Structure formats: C-alpha cells, structure tokens
Amino acid sequence: MRFLLSLLIACVIGSLHANEKPNVLMISVDDLNDWIGCLGGHPDAITPHLDSLAARGVNFTNAHCSVTVCSPSRISVISGVGPTTHGSYELGTPYQEIARLDDVPTMPGFFKANGYTTITGGKILHHNFTGRLEADNNLVLTLRKGGPNPKKTFHAPKPWDWGAFPKTDAEMYDYQLAGAAAETLRQEHDKPFFLSVGLFRPHVPMFVPPHWYELYDAEAITMPDADPTDMDDIPGNFQYKMWIAPTLAELQDRKHWRSMVHAYLANTSFVDHCVGEIIKGLDSGPNKDNTIIVLWSDHGFHIGEKQHIAKRTLWEESTRVPLFFAGPGIEPGTSPEPASLLDIFPTLIELTDLPENKHLEGISLTPQLNNPSTPRERPALSSSYFGNHSVRTRDWRYIRYDDGAEELYDHRVDPDEKTNLADKAEYTDLKKKLAAHIPVGAAPEVKTFETREQVRTGKVSRP
C-alpha cells in the first residue's frame, strides 16, 4: 500500500515536472552586426562562444531588425509591434510614453502575467522598465550599462571614443552583469523564469580591457569594403540625413579608421566572452535542459561600408542581426529564410505554450525551428525614420524612401549590395511585388525627426 502511494506521488510529481513550462533566457547584444564567425561578416572576428551558441540551435542567417536604431528597435522586439503601428523611429520616446502601446504588454510583462518569474538586467529597453513598466519584472539584476568609461579622451569626444580601458574584465559592467545572470541560472527556481540580459558592448564608446585589443594585430586586420564608387548608383537624397555619427571621411582624415575597426572587433570578442560566461552558468546548473535560449542584436553597424559609420541606414550592414534560438527540442540548423526580430515574441509564446497575444505583428519561427529550410512567405521589413522602408526576402532587398526613390539588390549574386537594379525596366513587376509588403497608413511618428545637424549643434547628444 505504501509502495502504491509512493508510486502515485512519484507519478503526480513526474507529471507536474512534465507539464512545467520551459524557462526562457533572452540575451540581447547592443549594436552587434554580422562580424561574428557564424554569420561570416568579417573574416578575422574571434567569437567562439557566439559561434557555439549558434551551432547549438537554429542560426537565422537572414534576420533583420524593425528599426535600425536602439530604442525603437527594442520597443518593437519587446512589444511585438512594428514601427508603422507604434510610430517610434528614434531614440527620444520611451515605450511607456507611447500612447499606442498603452494596452500592449511588454514581453516580460506578458510572461509574468502567465505565471513566470521575470528577471532582467542591463539594456533591454533603451529607457529601462520604469513608470508603468516597473512591475513587469520581479527582479532587476542591474541597470548599469556601458561602463566604466575613462575620464580622458583616447581618439574622439564621447560617445564616439574607443580604447584599451579598464585593466580587467572584472571592472566591466557587462562582465558583472554576465556573472549575475550566470548565478541566477545556476539557482533552482520554484517557478519557470524569463531572464532577459542586455549586454551593451560593442556599442560606443568602445572601451574594453587591453587583452581584447591584443587578440588582433591592428596592422593585419582585413578592412571593410568602402569603395567610394559604390555610392554612384544610390539616391543621394536620403543618405546624408542618416549621418549622425562621424563620417568615414572624418575617420580617414584623422587616420582612425583602422583603429576603429580594431576596436569593434575587440569589443565584439569581449561581449562574446560575456555570452560564454552566461551560457556556462546555465550549463553548470539545474536549468540546462529546460531553458529556451534566444540571442539577438538590436541592429547592425557600418564601419566604412557605403562611406558610412554606425547605423540608421536601410542597407544590409544596418538591418542584419544575429538571431539564434536553442533549447529543448530544437535541433541544430541554419535558416536562410527572412526573419524579423518581431518574430521573437510569437515564437517564444509558441515554445512555452502561452495564450495568444493579439497585439503581435510577427509570425512564429517554429516551422523553421522544426525544419530550417521551411520557406517563409513574408519578408523582413525594416524602417529608418518615417516613410523609409526596406523589404528583405531570401534573395532580394528592396528599399523605398519617403520621396519615392528606390534601391533593389539581388542577394543571390550581390551579397554586399553593390549594384542597384531599381532603374532597370525588367524589375518593375518584382519591385511592385516587394513594395506591396510595405504597410500603408503608417501611424504618425511619435517624435519629430532628429537630424545630424540637430545632433551636431547639441540639441540632442545621443549616439
């Protein structure tokens, strides 16, 4: 009798465990482009931990952000709603001040409402979970991000500076956050958890300890393709509005271009190490086999390609981001199908079997997690400032600017987007088909345009 009772209890406990939701570990990396081994964007990049995480699950090699700058990209990921609905295209407006998102739950808020313990640290939303979003997380590991920074200037005024500082990883906020996240992952939790960790590097200012710089030989680094004639077939109306960062010409004048490429690679290897520390924490604890991992970056970064530095363009360097999913039931694979960061929220809902969230505009990636070559009909849409959009399918990129100017690239033969085909008559039908994916009736912009000139004259001062 006692044996039967024990068996019954064991069965009940067993089924409770079987029904328990998987945990979620979401890692975001700030301004990380495709210069990582598993995306092949730079031949010299040393990123063993990102590469190993990508190989552990499905690596979406054709993933793109919704907006090519921090705050609105992150608002889109965390709300699951795109910019043509929420109306944010620049840094100024926090999630909690966008009236169109008043009723839209954040990702942690949604998981918390559905029984999860929610823990966050670092930069997930650009303006943090404050005000009405404060209750969305049960625990905040740290809000510190992007430091420490030296008092002195190494190469350029902050935030556009870089150099070997501080002396040790232990002083770096990202490394401290990785340690706190790893510790959280090593613990038993009485409920499933949703842990979001926002690493700040390689975002400017690009300060990391010297040993990360020493991984690379500055003089031998492969430099990006910055052929000036690449600009000859590009509409000139739009590109200059986007140049809030220093230009490539300015860097070249100061003989700083190579040094900045070196800094970006060093910062990327440092953040790769932080990702490795987090995953080591997960793998050495009790949550290893029951945690879904998703890693993404909020947008890419130019370091000279198309004469541009930083982000806010609609080309591959700005829109393309790392996106990997790994965890229970996800077999290793690589998917070349177009994926949007908007797809993260619905994918996680499906993987954790949570109820429907009617606000979501993305489509779950679970068909590609089951079979990475499953075609996706919907392209990835990216925007930069009001009325400018890019449509990326598996084979094509189409860009349409606010004044009707267009670009079209055939990624099958032109992965660097060198030859703009938009003026060729034979592509009229294709352009029309691609343009049909751009939403009509976009919500008005929530905040007015911030131009390079406004930044330069000190009216706004953010990177």
Is residue 90 a contact point for Ca ion (CB under 5 A)? Answer: no
- DSSP-H helix ranges across 284-343: 316-319
- Give φ, ψ of 193 to 5 degrees: -115, 155
Cα(302)–Cα(261) distance, rounded to whole angstroms? 10
Nearer residue to Ca ion within complex by CB, 21 or 145: 145
- DSSP-H helix ranges across 187-337: 210-213, 236-239, 248-253, 257-283, 316-319
Count of chain residues binding Ca ion (CB under 5 A): 7
Nearer residue to Ca ion within complex by CB, 298 or 316: 298
Using Cβ positions, the residue closest to Ca ion within the complex turns out to be 70
Residues in region 284-303 near Ca ion by CB under 5 A: 298
Nearer residue to Ca ion within complex by CB, 196 or 368: 196
* Part in contact with Ca ion (CB under 5 A); list of ranges 80-88, 226-234, 243-251, 281-289: 226-234
In the complex, the smallest distance separating the C-beta of residue 73 from Ca ion, rounded to whole angstroms, is 7
Known catalytic residue at 359: no
Cα(341)–Cα(47) distance, rounded to whole angstroms? 22
Catalytic residue (choose from 70, 126, 262, 389): 70
One residue of 26, 31, 34, 266 binding Ca ion per CB under 5 A: 31
Q: Are 112 and 136 in contact (CB under 8 A)?
A: yes
Nearer residue to Ca ion within complex by CB, 124 or 282: 124
Is residue 30 a contact point for Ca ion (CB under 5 A)? Answer: yes
Is residue 233 a contact point for Ca ion (CB under 5 A)? Answer: yes
In the complex, the smallest distance separating the C-beta of residue 16 from Ca ion, rounded to whole angstroms, is 41
Which long-range contacts (C-beta less than 8 Å, at least 24 apart) are formed by 110-114?
A: 110/345, 110/349, 110/354, 110/357, 111/24, 111/194, 111/352, 111/354, 112/136, 112/137, 112/138, 112/194, 114/354, 114/355
Is residue 169 a contact point for Ca ion (CB under 5 A)? Answer: no
Catalytic residue (choose from 42, 49, 126, 127): 127
* Part in contact with Ca ion (CB under 5 A); list of ranges 186-194, 218-226, 232-240, 347-355: 232-240
Closest CA to 314 of 399, 257, 248: 399
Per the structure block, which two tokens stand in for 462? 């953010």
One residue of 70, 251, 348, 446 binding Ca ion per CB under 5 A: 70
Question: What letter does residue 67 receive in the DSSP assignment?
Answer: B
Known catalytic residue at 65: no
Is residue 230 a contact point for Ca ion (CB under 5 A)? Answer: yes
Q: Are 62 and 335 in contact (CB under 8 A)?
A: yes
Q: Provide the residue count of the chain.
A: 463
Residues in region 185-224 near Ca ion by CB under 5 A: none
Residues lying near Ca ion in the complex (CB under 5 A) are found at 30-31, 70, 230, 233, 298, 418
Active site residues: 70, 127
